[in-house]
Amino acid sequence: MTIEENLNNALQTLQLFISHKKNIDTIQDAGDMMVHALKSGKKIITCGNGGSMCDAMHFAQEMTGRFKNFRKSLPAISISDPAYLTCAANDFGYAQVFSRFIEGMGNEGDILLAISTSGNSENVIAAAETAKAMGINVIGLTGKEGGKLAPLCDIEIRAPHTHYADRVQEIHIKVIHSLLDFIEEGIKN
């Protein structure tokens, strides 16, 4: 695939995602849920593996820093500390690294932003299960068919099915930026 073909493929995937109004409505529903939680004194915890962890970190850093507007810091944290991850993985196994964090740091009414391009990441699924048991709402960013994560989500935002994770990740970052913008606007009111 040439560079131009690659870019056009990315554009087509984004256009496909946008063409389904349900996707726009679902992002707005997720944004509303996040704004409500934040206005209620709750926090957003994010998790994912590999590039999805980078997206989880990006979301949390834009919340505690700023996205577009100067405003107060908003409570969000990504489960990404290497010392914590290696400690929990060593003691409990990698499948439990996110769920252990949720168990220790999550509170009823918080939100878990769970990111998995396949929807089948074992540790993300375990985090969602723990969150649900604790009264923490789960917003999932998924791809393909949504995987095992989809039915655990209060709100699932699914990228169009593609052969590789790169297109899913490209949709996820656009969704994350849309949520950040929505939150910054919504938190003012």
Q: Is 30 helix (H, G, I), strand (E, B) or coil?
A: helix
Query: Taking a C-beta distance cutoff of 8 angstroms, is the pair 67, 180 a contact?
Result: yes
Round the CA-based radius of gyration of the chain to a whole number and report it.
16
Domain count for the chain, please give it. 1
Q: For the residues 52-56, what does the mean pLDDT come to? A: 98
Residues β-bridged to residue 74: none
pLDDT value of position 139: 98
Query: Taking a C-beta distance cutoff of 8 angstroms, is the pair 34, 25 a contact?
Result: no
Residue 188 has pLDDT above 90, yes or no: no
pTM of the model: 0.96
CA separation for the pair 165, 49 (Å, rounded): 12
Residue 144 has pLDDT above 70, yes or no: yes
pLDDT value of position 78: 98
Q: For the residues 125-153, what does the mean pLDDT come to? A: 97
Query: Taking a C-beta distance cutoff of 8 angstroms, is the pair 149, 124 a contact?
Result: yes
pLDDT-wise least confident of 26-35, 49-58, 135-144, 156-165: 156-165
Structure tokens at 115: 């990111």
Structure tokens at 37: 């939680």
CA separation for the pair 159, 167 (Å, rounded): 8
Smallest CA-to-CA distance from 79 within 43, 29, 39 is with: 43
CA separation for the pair 31, 184 (Å, rounded): 10
CA separation for the pair 10, 40 (Å, rounded): 37
Smallest CA-to-CA distance from 80 within 62, 66, 93, 61 is with: 61
Containing domain of residue 36, as a range? 3-188
pLDDT value of position 189: 65
Band (pLDDT 50/70/90 cuts) for residue 129 is very high
Band (pLDDT 50/70/90 cuts) for residue 162 is confident
Residue 102 has pLDDT above 80, yes or no: yes
Query: Taking a C-beta distance cutoff of 8 angstroms, is the pair 141, 114 a contact?
Result: yes
Band (pLDDT 50/70/90 cuts) for residue 39 is very high
CA separation for the pair 97, 13 (Å, rounded): 32
CA separation for the pair 17, 45 (Å, rounded): 25
pLDDT in tens, 67-93: 998 899 999 999 999 999 999 999 999
Domain of 144: which CATH number? 3.40.50.10490
pLDDT value of position 53: 98
Which position has the higher pLDDT, 95 or 165? 95
pLDDT > 70: percent of the chain: 99
